[in-house]
Amino acid sequence: MSKPITAAEIEARYRNSYGRAAGYLPGDRRAVEAWQADLARRARARTDGHVPSVQKLAELLGKDKELADLVTQTVKEALRLHDQGVRNTEEMLAALDLVTGTAPEYRLDPKQRIFFPMSALFVYMMATKSGNEFFKHQQFNKALRGILKAWCEFLDSPRSRYVLHDGPEGWLGQAAYEQFKLYEFDYRPEAAYGGFASYNAFFHRPIKPEFRPNGALHDLRAVVSANDGKVVRVYPNAQLDVPKIEVKAQPYSLDLMLGKYRKKGDFAGGDILQSFLSGADYHRWHAPVDGVVEYVEKVPGLQFSELYDTDHVDPSAGTLSQGYQANVNTRGIVVIRSESPDIGKVCVVPVGITEISSVDITVQEGDRVTRGDEIGRFSYGGSSMCLVFQPGRVEFTVPPGRKDVVGDDGAPVFVNGTIARAK
């Protein structure tokens, strides 16, 4: 029998959740509880029918009693942790209806910032035993991807721009300007909505080249970072087949991570550098080496599944889940054959975490890329990045992080900054 979950364990788990670490959920958990209570109230008052994407999930639950019972149990378990959230499946569906038409809002008070609405809705469900099973359910994840796609379409539309203003609590206001270093990015402060066509256009706004200079442009032995972020860890000797990935040591299973490309076996025993993107980071990714794109794939996967300890709430589960999520979450696979034979092939694996709206790959097989060329972007969503190298090819120039402790305080990396060199 599972041990009772204490308030201290829930608080520790929340502090290490991906959303909180990424800056999309507030430091004060009470703000999430107040937000959940308000969302539940509005969900109960909603009288319209479901939006099409949520209706598909409702229909799935109507046909799959086992899944419907699992949702019911997950909601009940979550209510034991916070009794002001959604009370049943219908309220959860109505809450998702509301989310699909809501843009993330900026708040001056860091304790009130709820930038990840689905993470805020699901945060207690994710901490339960039933939720551990629920968020791995393949059909549920398929339906949830449809809901997230609908939300992304809203965030891609002009309707989402109502949060893009220069008022005190607007994304273009002075506080946000300083926090998110908007001076580094291309936008037009004199224009309505900053000149952005949508919220997503703001989220993956392009950066000014002078703020990410490519000092290694003519050094063929250098590897540059594909993204802005912080080092999660450097993991040597990654194996193709790992029997158990749901452990804190987080072995990377290349058989799982690399999609259909795993059959090639090019990266067996290779090295992985994983980094973590926060909400303030630049959310486009760039080529780490000069070369030719040999392979491109987008792998659909999970969204809200985290590591789970059957005996208690693991306080480090959220941030320690990033290696696990690289194996099972929605992700991209881009293999580049470097023009430097000493570097060999490099695999770029952008990983969607929690609110995955989009992993957009903008290169095709056969394209030639130069270090610093843009190769893709995240639309609104949590995100992590893995670079996979063939064994014995590179020596890293960034601190390796720790295998047992992963937080949001790793060494910073920046697009076009050198992270490794050919041996």
**Using one digit for the tens of pLDDT, what is the confidence trace for 379-398?**
876 688 999 999 999 999 99
20-31 confidence digits (pLDDT tens): 777 788 888 899
Alpha carbon 206 to its chain centroid, in Å, reads 19
Sequence-ordered list of residues with C-beta below 8 angstroms from that of 299, at least 6 positions apart, any chain? 259, 330, 331, 332, 333
pLDDT at residue 202, as a whole number: 94
The highest-confidence range among 80-84, 312-316, 362-366, by mean pLDDT, is: 362-366
187-227 confidence digits (pLDDT tens): 999 999 999 999 999 999 999 999 999 878 788 899 999 99
274-297 confidence digits (pLDDT tens): 998 887 789 999 999 999 999 999
314-344 confidence digits (pLDDT tens): 444 445 567 777 777 789 999 999 999 999 9
139-198 confidence digits (pLDDT tens): 999 999 899 989 999 999 999 999 999 998 999 999 999 989 999 999 999 999 999 999
Q: Helices marked H in 123-229 — which ranges?
A: 129-134, 138-155, 174-179, 199-203
Mean pLDDT of all residues in 88-98: 97
Q: In what order do the strands lie in the sheet with 394-396?
A: 222-224, 418-422, 394-396
Say which amino acid occupies 46: R
Q: Are 379 and 356 in contact (CB under 8 A)?
A: no
Residues of the chain with pLDDT > 90: what percent? 54
Specify the range with the lowest mean pLDDT, choosing from 6-10, 39-43, 85-89, 388-392. 6-10
Complete domains list, the chain, with CATH: 7-155 (no CATH), 158-197 (no CATH), 209-422 (2.70.70.10)
